[in-house]
Chains A and B, each alone.
Chain A
Amino acid sequence: MDNGMDNILDTYLYESNSLLDQLDEMLVKDEKEGDFSPDDVNEIFRIMHTIKGSSAMMEFNSLSTIAHHIEDLFFYIRDKGIESLNPGHKRELFDLMFKSEDYLRSEVGKVESGSPLSDNIDSFSSEINEFLKKISVEKSSSMEQEAQEYPAVPKARPDAPALPQDPKAVCFFHVFLEEGIGMENLRAYIIVNALKECGLEFRYYPADMESNPSVCQDLIDNGFFLSFESHEAAAQAEGIIKSQNYIRSYELLDSPDHTQDRDVPAKTQDSPAEDNVSLPAAKPAAAGPSVSAPSHSPVKQSLISVNLMKLNSLNDIVGEIVITESMVTSSPELNLLPKESFDNFMKSARQLRKLTHDLQDISMSLRMVPISGVFQKMNRIVRDMKQKLGKDVRLTIIGEDTEVDKTIVDSIQDPIMHIVRNSMDHGIEETQEERIEAGKAAQGEIILSASHTSSEVVISVSDDGYGMNAQKLLAKAAEKGLLTKPESEYSQKEALGLIMLPGFSTNQAVTEYSGRGVGMDVVKKNVESVGGTISISSEAGLGTTISMKIPLTLAIVDGMKITVGDSIFTIPVSNIRQSFKVTEEQVIHDEYGNEIVDCLGSFYPIIRLHQFFHMDTNAPNIKDGILIWVEASDCSYCLLVDSLIGEQQVVVKPLPAYLNTFELKNYGISGCTILGDGNISIILDILGLYAAAIKNM
């Protein structure tokens, strides 16, 4: 049971979060256009309705109440048409909606983390109600008119306590809900649903209770009716009603038999009730006379959500299959087969290979998600900061369909957010005048773009603001004592890289959005933790571009297998620039005996891998081994290894948790992989190796 509850909660969280994401996207888009489209009004209404319903079901009262109020608000707006709002109101509505979205989000977040929901929702709900009042006051005169033409539902039932018109019914249940439970219509509908699930044939009145919040008062005063065509069904229903919560009292009434007039218009009866019975998630149809049913039907999503754990184990197994396949097909025992059977075997084996590779491709693509989710969130950040900082900035998004591994998407969201905030806060000029003086368009621009290369995703954030002044950065770094060599020796690129040092922040003042001590150094660390690199280019006065290069996936690496002694190591091919042989004479020594080599006119240190790892080697002389010139992020050096074996795609596996205490990552060992013959190869982390070997030299 507990488990079931967890599943429901997971579903609830997933659903609510995706609805809120959808809402956010819609709001940002609509605000840009300065108007809500009628479709979107319907959509917001639907979203709020769903959130309200599911939250009430889960008994998250703060969520359902707020959603309920917003639903009311949009019920009104939908009723009157969005055109009835003046631009001022619309602006206010946008602010209110963003605020509500944030509120709902924070509450959902609380549910997620298991902390208690806030009780104090009155001030916020009254804010929504006041806005509703404000927009409705101006329309009140016309509304009254309409109200007379189309009386509101409660008023349309002066005889509500009396039994509803239902000629076929034999008996009725008259049910009263407990007082003060809130959202009576929904509670009543939950009871109705419970009965429906038991397969009972019945009708209920008021028939529109789940979609029309205004019947609440009616339900409180007069209760609601369930009509049955047979006494047996009624007796069954009684048992179910007894087990339901929130029922104050109920009574069984026999139908006064066909004494009543049958010519009562049927529109409030069978048809809407029947419709709603067949569609539990029915659209709020026929809720108000002037409302046409929403014009679009919900798009059936051909998506399912899958537990990430399951996906990971699927990927692991597929990785194993690929390896096992090559183990089987390259097994030396096959040579013992007679020629003919061997050919037959290889024919099937080729088929198997093709299929396993297809399988691998598919399973890898399962983890890929478009980056648009992250980019959309930036829209919101830019919008909020625009208002707070009073800067006019437009965010241009390019390539949001680019697909990236799920883990990577999760870990680059914060870095991107930080960079966008930095650009907004410090990059773009303070005032429009300043921009115009500098000969730029009055409106600032931040471009967020993503694109694929063969093995990497390049994400860049560029602004057309102040740009960075290398001299200023150098002076600042000198002041903080962060320089490691004379100022004059820093190249432009190196100077810009200074901002990614820990303890460096060019802005003295801490603002709400940036400068909270979490600087670019954290951004750099995050990007590097997923195997990416970050680079900055900037032209003073023209703007800044920060690009991140991130591997498409962490699970599979194109590796170069190398040997040292009897061990096989794997180096990511993306880190390798070149491999070459040198003789003793070409090696230059510094005063401490460190070895240096000249590659294409620059000098790079040599790390003898066997020395660093204290291993045996088959190539004690540098001329017997081979040098691999590797590069990662901002470091570049040469590794001496015994020999190269060849290139292979490998599935990265973490080292056993038992070894975590030794922090092998700090020694440049990032994981391992299983080779075709079942042996294990250790994957080297070029950056970590550099940090361990060169920095400590």
Chain B
Amino acid sequence: MSNHIESQAEKQPEIQTGSPSVERCLVFESGALSLFMSTNYVIEIINGHSITPIPMIPSFIKGILNLRGQILPVVDIRLYMGHEEMEFTRQTCIIVLQVDSLSLGIIVDSVQQVIDIDLANVRSIPVKRQQKLLDGMVTLEDGRVLMSFDCKALINDPC
């Protein structure tokens, strides 16, 4: 699956590469939301790993998994954002992130593509209600609207 995404990324025309605010971003879906985050945080995308549940922790942390000897916590961001839990499908996968030297996996519904996004175009979300994991939104040239996924909020506020 990851190969598939990369090949798409290569086809993507490099827009405004000169601008410093342009970043390569991974677009993924979770609970009917289209989200993106900088690929700087993304280590790899995996699926098919079995997750060991851990008792006595909030349900949005699905447990831990063994990635080649490294033990990673896995967060279901659907649950974190207050959505319904979903059965794993063929599309479901785990994005392994590294934020501030902390590694963790997040469960997303599906991973779409890698595109370049000019972060200068990202606007804040107008709704006053506190956003748990989203810190902005951006309209793409093709008219799609993506939400910016805030990895740091996930790390800094695990509750």
A320 at the B interface (CB under 8 A): yes
Q: Which of A511-530 contact B (CB under 8 A)?
A: none
In contact, A667 and B71 (Cβ under 8 angstroms): no
B20 at the A interface (CB under 8 A): no
A interface footprint on B55-73 (CB within 8 Å = 1, 0 otherwise): 1111001001110010111
In contact, A662 and B102 (Cβ under 8 angstroms): no
In contact, A653 and B71 (Cβ under 8 angstroms): yes
Spot the interface stretch: A17-25, A426-434, A678-686: A678-686
B155 at the A interface (CB under 8 A): yes
Chain A nearest CB from B148 CB (Å) reads 21
Among A317, A320, A658, A661, the one with the most B-chain Cβ atoms within 10 Å of its Cβ is A658
Write out the residue numbers on chain A whose beta carbons fall within 8 Å of the beta carbon of B69.
Answer: 316-317, 320, 674
Chain A nearest CB from B32 CB (Å) reads 26
Among residues of B, the one whose C-beta sits closest to the C-beta of A323 is: B69
Write out the residue numbers on chain A whose beta carbons fall within 8 Å of the beta carbon of B158.
Answer: 658-659, 661-662
Contact of A669 among B56, B65, B104, B155 (CB under 8 A): B56
Q: Which of B121-159 contact A (CB under 8 A)?
A: 155, 158-159
Write out the residue numbers on chain B whose beta carbons fall within 8 Å of the beta carbon of A317.
Answer: 69
A613 at the B interface (CB under 8 A): yes
Write out the residue numbers on chain B whose beta carbons fall within 8 Å of the beta carbon of A662.
Answer: 56-58, 158
Contact of B55 among A614, A656, A657, A679 (CB under 8 A): A614
In contact, A679 and B50 (Cβ under 8 angstroms): yes
Chain A nearest CB from B147 CB (Å) reads 23
A140 at the B interface (CB under 8 A): no
In contact, A664 and B52 (Cβ under 8 angstroms): no
Chain B nearest CB from A674 CB (Å) reads 5
A-B contact count (CB 8 A): 68
Among A567, A664, A680, the one with the most B-chain Cβ atoms within 10 Å of its Cβ is A680
Q: Which of B39-64 contact A (CB under 8 A)?
A: 50, 52-58, 61, 64
In contact, A659 and B73 (Cβ under 8 angstroms): yes
In contact, A667 and B56 (Cβ under 8 angstroms): yes
In contact, B102 and A657 (Cβ under 8 angstroms): yes
Among residues of B, the one whose C-beta sits closest to the C-beta of A678 is: B66
Among B64, B72, B155, the one with the most A-chain Cβ atoms within 10 Å of its Cβ is B64
A493 to B155, CA, bound (A): 47
B30 at the A interface (CB under 8 A): no
Chain B nearest CB from A301 CB (Å) reads 34
Among residues of B, the one whose C-beta sits closest to the C-beta of A664 is: B56
User: Looking at chain B, what size class is its interface with the partner chain?
Assistant: 20 to 34
B interface footprint on A311-325 (CB within 8 Å = 1, 0 otherwise): 000001100100000
Among residues of B, the one whose C-beta sits closest to the C-beta of A565 is: B53
B92 at the A interface (CB under 8 A): no
| Contact status of A613 and B64, CB under 8 A, knowing A658-B73, A661-B158 | no
In contact, B52 and A680 (Cβ under 8 angstroms): yes
Contact of A615 among B55, B58, B66 (CB under 8 A): B55
| Contact status of A664 and B54, CB under 8 A, knowing A653-B71, A678-B66, A680-B64 | yes
Q: Which of A622-680 contact B (CB under 8 A)?
A: 653, 655-659, 661-662, 664, 667, 669, 672, 674, 678-680
A613 to B61, CA, bound (A): 15
| Contact status of A567 and B53, CB under 8 A, knowing A672-B71, A680-B64 | yes
Q: Which of A297-335 contact B (CB under 8 A)?
A: 316-317, 320
A86 to B52, CA, bound (A): 73
In contact, A680 and B71 (Cβ under 8 angstroms): yes
Write out the residue numbers on chain A whose beta carbons fall within 8 Å of the beta carbon of B61.
Answer: 659
In contact, B71 and A656 (Cβ under 8 angstroms): yes
Contact of B159 among A320, A656, A657, A661 (CB under 8 A): A661
A661 to B61, CA, bound (A): 12
Write out the residue numbers on chain B whose beta carbons fall within 8 Å of the beta carbon of A653.
Answer: 71
In contact, B64 and A672 (Cβ under 8 angstroms): yes
A662 to B61, CA, bound (A): 11
A655 to B55, CA, bound (A): 13
A659 to B61, CA, bound (A): 9
Write out the residue numbers on chain B whose beta carbons fall within 8 Å of the beta carbon of A316.
Answer: 69
Chain B nearest CB from A567 CB (Å) reads 6
Write out the residue numbers on chain A whose beta carbons fall within 8 Å of the beta carbon of B56.
Answer: 613-614, 662, 664, 667, 669
In contact, A679 and B66 (Cβ under 8 angstroms): yes
In contact, A656 and B104 (Cβ under 8 angstroms): yes
In contact, A658 and B66 (Cβ under 8 angstroms): no
In contact, A613 and B102 (Cβ under 8 angstroms): no
Q: Which of B63-102 contact A (CB under 8 A)?
A: 64-66, 69, 71-73, 102
In contact, A655 and B71 (Cβ under 8 angstroms): yes
Write out the residue numbers on chain A whose beta carbons fall within 8 Å of the beta carbon of B159.
Answer: 661
| Contact status of A679 and B54, CB under 8 A, knowing A653-B71, A656-B104, A658-B102 | no
Among residues of B, the one whose C-beta sits closest to the C-beta of A324 is: B69
Among residues of A, the one whose C-beta sits closest to the C-beta of B52 is: A680
Chain B nearest CB from A676 CB (Å) reads 12
Among residues of B, the one whose C-beta sits closest to the C-beta of A667 is: B56
B103 at the A interface (CB under 8 A): yes
In contact, A682 and B72 (Cβ under 8 angstroms): no
In contact, B66 and A656 (Cβ under 8 angstroms): no
Can you list 14 A-B pairs, Cβ within 8 angstroms, ordered by A?
A316-B69, A613-B56, A615-B55, A656-B72, A656-B104, A659-B54, A659-B158, A662-B158, A664-B56, A672-B52, A672-B71, A679-B52, A680-B64, A680-B65
- Knowing that A664-B56, A672-B64, A682-B55 are A-B contacts, what are 17 other residue pairs whose CB atoms are under 8 Å apart, sorted by A's residue number? A317-B69, A567-B53, A613-B55, A614-B56, A655-B54, A657-B102, A658-B73, A658-B102, A659-B54, A662-B158, A667-B55, A667-B56, A672-B71, A674-B66, A674-B69, A674-B71, A678-B66
Which 10 residue pairs across A and B have the least CB separation, nearest first?
A613-B55, A680-B52, A320-B69, A656-B73, A658-B73, A667-B56, A662-B57, A674-B66, A658-B104, A680-B66
Q: Which residues of A contact B (CB under 8 A)?
A: 316-317, 320, 567, 613-615, 653, 655-659, 661-662, 664, 667, 669, 672, 674, 678-682
